[in-house]
Amino acid sequence: MGKPALKEIVDGYLSGKVSKETMTEFLRAVCACGLSDEDATLLTEVMVESGERLSFTPRKYPYADKHSTGGVADSTTLVIAPVVASCGVPFLKMSGRKLGHTGGTIDKLECFKGLRTEISVEEAERIVDKVGAAVIAQSKELVPADKAMYKLRDETGTVKSLPLIASSVVSKKLASGAEVFVLDVKTGAGAFMETVEEGTALAKLMVNILKKSGKKAAAVLSDMNSPLGEGVGGVMEVIDAVEVLEGKKSRLRDLALAIAGKIVALAKGVSDEEGAAQAAAALDSGKALSKLKEMIAAQGGALDLFEKQERASLLSQAAGIVRAEQDGYVAAIDCVKLGFLAREFEASGGYGMLVPVKVGSAVKKGDALVRLYGEAAKGDALHALSACFSIVEARVKPDPLIYKTIT
Ligand code: URA
């Protein structure tokens, strides 16, 4: 299509010269026919140019950022930010709120009482200078074209398109000023990209656009057939992340370290093995745990969730348990439904849930599949949660955590 034609339609839609109907026709055409990689890159550029583009004062290592395409029980940012900062790489991320069935990082951060996320970029840079990391709410001046187009995509059923998702995600990353990016493309029943093939295509397109724009970038394709961590819902996801920083072994830890290690390798120009070793050392030494406390305090948040007693008190308020109805193996978990039910439970006064099983877990009749905390859950909520799990007699192979890495 070329840049002038793409600019005409995107800028025209923002200024009102191009109608909703014409933009919808364009979005539908892209959904049906795709875009060449070159046009997807140009569309991304045009979207970035619709708003402000940040840049930071150069430091010893470039600013880094990560992005997840959206998963259930995914609090990796709360582990990655302090691990990367502990390795000396500045980390500044702009995050969003809950989207669909997945929780947003901003909602999680706000579980630390008093924590501010509506922070100016100048203040965020000062926090990064002092502490090494900051996670703040997305600035409204960045990529207004994405805001307008995403709203229309949502209304017209044109969200699921590789070039539209890639240009939406990457335009926000490019505008937010970092130089190093690792993208976590979720794959499976609980993700936008249900198959490894689709996930690979999206990851490759996003990495290519970032690289063509002069950035260092890589992507991991990670599993979303099961919730990533055990905690589902704001405060439970925060507790999960804090426990990982205290040394708990889990898939959340493994994925967070894989992403953090890759970020450190790209930012410092060291090998993947060296990046991974530095990330693991930052976590295992307890340095990253202290760093998260510093980051939370610098953003005005209370530190009670780091106190074991406070966490034990939250976990003492059991609100219900969903149990396995037979012996067997977990064959499938409906993560989309589980995510929506967790949001409903939180909205009705619950703190969140713990889901101790994954696809492939062996269970005995009566074992807990979900533990709920906070306000007592209603019977129909427990029933709906139970329906999210399918249990079969024959052994089920667990899914890999990372299907592949794209560089
Ligand atoms: N997340 C985004 O930011 N944009 C999309 O199009 C899909 C997911």
Mean pLDDT by 10 residues, the chain (407 residues): 94 97 97 95 96 91 95 95 98 86 88 94 94 91 92 90 95 95 95 93 97 97 97 93 97 98 98 98 98 98 96 91 97 95 90 96 98 84 95 97 96
CA 74 to chain centre: 6
Counting from 1 in the atom list of ligand 1, the atom nearest the Cα of 168 is 4
* Domain 64-306 listed as CATH 2.30.30.190: no
Sequence-distant (6+) residues with CB within 8 A of 68 are 74, 76, 77, 183, 184, 186
**Catalytic one among 66, 93, 153, 216?**
153
C-beta of residue 194 within 8 angstroms of C-beta of residue 188:
yes
The full DSSP string for 230-269 is: SEESHHHHHHHHHHHHTT--SHHHHHHHHHHHHHHHHHHT
Instruction: Say if strands 362-363 and 328-333 run parallel, antiparallel, or are unpaired.
Output: antiparallel
Cα 265 to ligand 1 centroid, rounded to whole Å: 26
What are the tokens at 186? 């979720």
**Active site annotation includes 116:** no
Cβ of residue 169 lying under 6 Å from some atom of ligand 1: yes
Conformational region of residue 132, where left means phi above 0, alpha means psi within -120 to 50, and beta covers everything else:
left
Q: Which amino acid is at 96?
A: G
* Ligand 1 atom closest to 164 (CA): 6
Answer yes or no: 254 catalytic: no
24 exposure class (CB count in 10 Å sphere: 0-12, 13-18, 19+): middle
Does the domain spanning 317-392 belong to CATH 3.90.1170.30? yes
Q: Name the catalytic one among 107, 146, 184, 223.
A: 146
Give the H/E segment covering residue 185.
strand 180-187
DSSP states of 342-399 as a string?
A: HHHHHHTTEEEEE----TT-EE-TT-EEEEEEESPPPHHHHHHHHTTEEEESS--PPP
Which ranges in the chain are annotated with CATH 3.90.1170.30? Answer: 317-392
Ramachandran region of residue 299, left (φ > 0), alpha (ψ -120 to 50) or beta? alpha
CA distance 371 to 89: 37
Verify whether residue 361 is a known catalytic residue.
no
Is-contact 110 151, C-beta < 8 A? no
Half-sphere exposure of 250 (CA within 13 A, CB side): 27
pLDDT, position 149: 95
Tokens of 33: 């026919």
pTM over 0.85: yes
Q: Is 383 designated active site?
A: no
Pair of tokens at residue 249: 């072994």
* Dihedral over Cα of 188, 67, 89, 297: its sign: negative
Model pLDDT, residue 188? 95
Q: How far is it, in rounded angstroms, from Cα 145 to Cα 287? A: 40
Distance 340 CA to ligand 1 centre (A): 18
pLDDT for res 372:
95
Give the model's pLDDT for residue 76: 97
Q: Establish whether residue 165 lines the binding site of ligand 1, counting it when its CB lies within 6 angstroms of any ligand atom.
A: yes
Q: What is the DSSP string of 127-180?
A: HHHHHSEEEEEPPTTS-HHHHHHHHHHHHHT----HHHHHHHHHHHHHHTT-SE
Please count the residues of the chain. 407
172 is catalytic: yes
The pLDDT of residue 388? 97
Atom 7, ligand 1: residue with shortest CA distance: 165
Q: In what order do the strands lie in the sheet with 389-392?
A: 362-363, 328-333, 389-392
Residue ranges matching CATH 3.40.1030.10 in the chain:
64-306
